[in-house]
Chain A
Amino acid sequence: MVKTLGERSHPYIPNSQPEIKQEMMREIGIKTINELYADIPEKYLLNKPLNLPKALSEFEIKRHIETLLSKNETCSHMPIFLGAGCWPHYVPAVVKEIMQRSELLTSYTPYQPEISQGMLQALFEYQSMICELTAMDVANCSMYDWASALGEAARMAARVTRKNEVLVPQIIHPERTKTLQVYAEPAGIKVVHVAYQKETGLINIEDLKKKISQKTAAVYIENPSYLGFVETQVEEIGEIAHDNKALFIVGVDPTSLGVLKPPGDYGADIVVGEAQPLGNAMNFGGPLLGIFACRDEIGLIRQMPGRIIGLTTTVEGNRHGFCMVLQTREQHIRREKATSNICSNEALCAVASAVYMALLGPEGFRELGETIMLKANYAMKLLSKIEGVKTPVFNSPHFKEFTVNFDGTGLSVKEVHKRLLQRHIHGGKEVSKDFPELGETALYCVTEIHSKEEIERLASALKEVLAKR
């Protein structure tokens, strides 16, 4: 016989108090709770305890988890020059406070709009501010992350155009390509890579023209690209896509949009991206926050995945209010014919981003972009002076990430990074495996949180570790 909690009641389970339990059982007319499980075939009822750690008190849990987590190194104690899809940025205190507001934190999806206006308005404001940043008209209130948003965008493009090929640059996050392929394949969509120009990393326009065809549903580019440079041929690429009746999809890092031209200004039909940098901590890579936006065209809007909040009025018409709209696209109504299966999303992260965007405002985004870009370029400048180091690999403008090549040093990225780590500095992400043609190369990232001193420390540490072969 398995023991139960017995006489103790658990803080999270008010009715575990034995007398209350008895009272309720009497009310139902049962003697033991197991009577409520009597319809379950005996053979499936567990007859031994599960092999789980024994219950701990709150204090013990805190100590246990704090102790484990203290084994992690963090970017507040060690400069970390990693980006590649999840970026170290500062999260303002106000954002954190709002994220902990219980009425938002502990609410479900706003199915009952009258009692959920707070969440609905905050999400509408998120959508609206994303639209302003990207210069698009409509945004949904979140996807899981950039990669899955891209997968959904490819599927949407295929539905809208009734074609089944998407062209994507060779230089793209490998995890994003993998995700895209996984989303595309069951829908019969073929993912075709477009070559890049060796010198600049930019899309090879000739190759794009060669590969685009009657079958192309969409052309996708990223700006800034995965390897940090700015794709500058955007208008031309958009025109080629549109001339071939394909949609133009652009992936963005929104921290760049205070200084770089927004995709809505160069003809994007769909914009995807990652809004984690807007007020969401890194958390070892999740939760993230996928951006999904498109133009105001009913044929596009009707094919969008995910939840969308709209502005409306009360039935009396005397006041504005907010509710979920166009639910007939979604799984709970359309089932297997839905535009996507997404249900729970990343709503609270979207609220965090709304707060962040409101805090920064138009000037703040300009400053953020400027600070990041200047610092990253400063880092490139310092590192490029080190013998044997080439950075950036591509001769193009770079925003916050840049490639650093170590071929001239005779050392592998792994070895360089090992030595940096011994000096308590974390280098960038190795990309040699995913892009073997680039040799021993890593992708470094510098944001507003990297101080001049930290950048200089990186440079001198690199000099040191490279000096001894």
Chain B
Amino acid sequence: MFKQANWNEPIIFNLGRSGRKGHLLPKAEEEIRRAVGELDALIPKHMRREHKPNLPELSEVEVYRHFLRLSEMNYGVDSGFYPLGSCTMKYNPKINEQLANLPTINMVHPYQDASTVQGILEILYRLERMLAEITGTHEVCLQPSAGAHGEFLGTLLMRAYHKKNGEIQQRREIIVPDSAHGTNPASAAMAGFNVVVVPSDSEGCVDLEALKTVVSERTAGLMLTNPNTLGIFEKNIEEIAKIIHEAGGLLYYDGANLNPLLGKVRPGDMGFDIVHMNIHKTFSTPHGGGGPGAGPVGVSKDLARFLPVPRIVFDGNSYRLDYDRPESIGKIRCFYGNVAVLLKAYAYILSLGFEGLKEVAEVSVLNANYLMKKLMEIKGLTLPFNSGKPRKHECVFSAKPLKNETGVSALNIAKRLLDYGLHAPTIYFPLIVEEALMIEPTETFEKEEIDRFVEAMRKICEEAYANPEKTLKAPHNTAILKLDEVKASHPRTMSLSWRMYLKKKV
């Protein structure tokens, strides 16, 4: 049986001893001190730090051990099955980590003269071209730091486009399906648009009739995930694109679910004008417990002029950064993007080529449909929007029958799965499925591990009918037992930092 390490590791502020040192820094040489004088002479008294920061004082040994123990109380893709739907938790190739840790990238400054950074510029330029080819777009901008950042850029591009056409006052609305990820409406709102929600039909796809009624001369665009968050391909995409384009709107592709389409279908070919990719999903870069990722955006020819500066250009001889783009929207962050992450994606694409990418897509779909088939046999679970159509890279089950019959909810299932040394699926998303379990096996887990998950699901559901207590109280084998999340967010007890905790002493 799985048992996660449980070090009961103290908070770092309670470790160490006054006077211990964790790292020796270079010092200013004696001659420098003599030439410049004392620090106090350089800083006016009222601008000096009076009290040292209350940081812990530890030796290097203790710091390393502390964080090593913390890592042992964590679970990653390398630990085992991680079917977090929508997140595409695939294996992160080790060679890519090694390459991204070379000094020839780590120690390169973004403002270096172009002649001294030809290597990295070439890699980024080539990556842009590859991603444009894969998505069927005209130009790609690597700058967004994550998917949501790409969405923000995308909606800003819509803004710029409609502004140029003199229609921004009128086109105030962005349409998103009710199955959309929360970042879609949030990004649209951040770019100053009103959000209009279009419902899904009985097959889990955008309801075409409903779409027609919400589309108007106020429509700036539609944000769509395809396959959508149910793992279902929006089969009416041609019609959808037509409706939006005829109304003068733009079509935005949320690329979180691009994995099953690699080398099979290209968003650009389906009529999407703006496409973001989640490099930390589809292109295998590690998610780092929340980031850093990267969210490049590909656009059609018409929109390329609005992309953030600088653009990487190649004159046949050398690469340089071009800031001379008068119609650019400006910047959404400093510099050129999460370069160390992008480098890993470049290596990943090289390791697969076209055929390999296609294989990624196909096996991700094979795995998802295999898993779905197996789970459909389990009592207590249902597959909403089941029209007999295959899913793509993921499937969304509902644990509603189980909940009604035994009291065991999707949340309880998730917690109990942890006891088996398996990560839980995404739960309670998409919002249109009650007691949702959103499961994405990706192509990088072997059949044996998928079977182990199916077996655990079967046991958990059986246990729910026989003796729900154990599952209701799960997890049992993790580093810590169920947490009081209400207390965590309650204004009276909320402790968002060590100093806040010391003030409140929960």
Contact = CB atoms under 8 A, between A and B. Distances in A.
A115 B423 contact: yes
Given A234-B47, A368-B25, A314 B334 contact: no
Contacts of A345: 146, 290-292
Contact of B339 (A40, A148, A286, A355): A286
**Range for the number of chain B residues in contact with chain A:** 35 or more
A344 B53 contact: no
A285 B110 CA distance: 5
B118 A72 contact: yes
Contacts of A310: 488-489, 494-496
Interface in B105-139: 105-113, 115-120, 122-123, 130, 133-134
B396 to A, nearest CB: 15
A88 B72 CA distance: 31
A104 interface: yes
A203 to B, nearest CB: 14
Contacts of A16: 359, 363, 443
Contact of A144 (B77, B146, B151): B146
8 contacts: A72-B120, A108-B289, A116-B289, A123-B290, A125-B498, A284-B120, A348-B288, A363-B52
B447 A358 contact: no
Contacts of B91: 12
A74 B370 contact: no
B191 interface: yes
Interface in B57-87: 57-58, 60, 63-64, 66-79, 82, 84, 87
Given A82-B112, A364-B21, A186 B190 contact: yes
A351 interface: yes
B181 to A, nearest CB: 8
B432 interface: no
Interface stretch (A45-53, A162-170, A205-213, A243-251): A45-53
A361 B22 contact: yes
B104 interface: yes
B200 interface: no
Contacts of B354: 49-50, 52, 54
Contact of B363 (A13, A188, A362, A397): A13
B75 A257 contact: no
By CB atoms of chain A within 10 A, which of B106, B122, B424, B446 has the most? B106
B460 interface: no
Given A37-B264, A261-B47, 15 more contacts: A12-B443, A36-B390, A65-B99, A69-B120, A75-B109, A108-B87, A108-B423, A124-B11, A316-B481, A336-B195, A360-B23, A360-B55, A362-B53, A366-B49, A449-B26
Contacts of B113: 417, 421, 426
Interface string A188-203: 1000000000000000
B146 to A, nearest CB: 4
B335 to A, nearest CB: 3
Given A187-B192, A330-B182, A337-B189, A123 B334 contact: no
Given A15-B367, A186-B192, A115 B475 contact: yes
Contact of B330 (A23, A181, A301, A326): A181
Contacts of A133: 53, 55
B120 A374 contact: no
B356 A10 contact: yes
A448 to B, nearest CB: 5
A333 interface: yes
B11 A125 contact: yes
Contacts of B290: 108-110, 119, 123, 141-142, 307, 344-348
Interface string B346-365: 11011111111111101101
By CB atoms of chain B within 10 A, which of A38, A115, A265, A364 has the most? A115
Interface string A147-191: 110000001000000000000000001011011011101111000
B70 A58 contact: no
Contact of A108 (B89, B102, B390, B495): B89
A287 B53 contact: no
Contacts of B418: 112, 114-115
Contacts of B298: none
Contact of B105 (A72, A76, A116, A137): A72
Contacts of B443: 12-13, 15-16
A286 B335 contact: yes
Interface in B412-448: 414-415, 418, 423-424, 426, 429, 443-447
B353 A53 contact: yes
Given A106-B76, A261-B46, A131 B498 contact: yes
B415 to A, nearest CB: 7
A378 B28 contact: yes
B47 A301 contact: no
Nearest to A73: B116
Interface string B203-226: 000000000000000000000000
Contacts of A288: 333-335
A375 B32 contact: yes
A135 B495 CA distance: 16
B54 to A, nearest CB: 5
Given A101-B68, A361-B56, A36 B32 contact: no
Contact of B340 (A88, A281, A313, A327): A281
Contacts of A239: none
A127 B428 CA distance: 28
B441 to A, nearest CB: 9
B506 interface: yes
Contacts of B446: 14-15, 20
Given A21-B366, A361-B55, A344 B293 contact: yes
By CB atoms of chain A within 10 A, which of B98, B130, B480 has the most? B480
B44 interface: yes
A351 B66 CA distance: 12
A301 B75 contact: no
Contact of B79 (A103, A287, A340): A103
A64 B23 CA distance: 36
A273 B342 CA distance: 23
Contacts of A333: 182
B22 A40 contact: no
Contacts of B315: none
Nearest to A185: B192
Contacts of A4: 355, 358-359, 362
Contacts of B32: 374-375, 378, 452
A221 to B, nearest CB: 13
Interface in B16-33: 16, 20-23, 25-29, 31-33
B185 interface: yes
B64 to A, nearest CB: 5
A341 B151 contact: yes
Contacts of B117: 72-73, 284
Contacts of B123: 65, 68-69
Interface stretch (A27-35, A387-395, A460-468): A27-35
A375 B39 CA distance: 11
Interface string A296-323: 1010010000011111111111011111
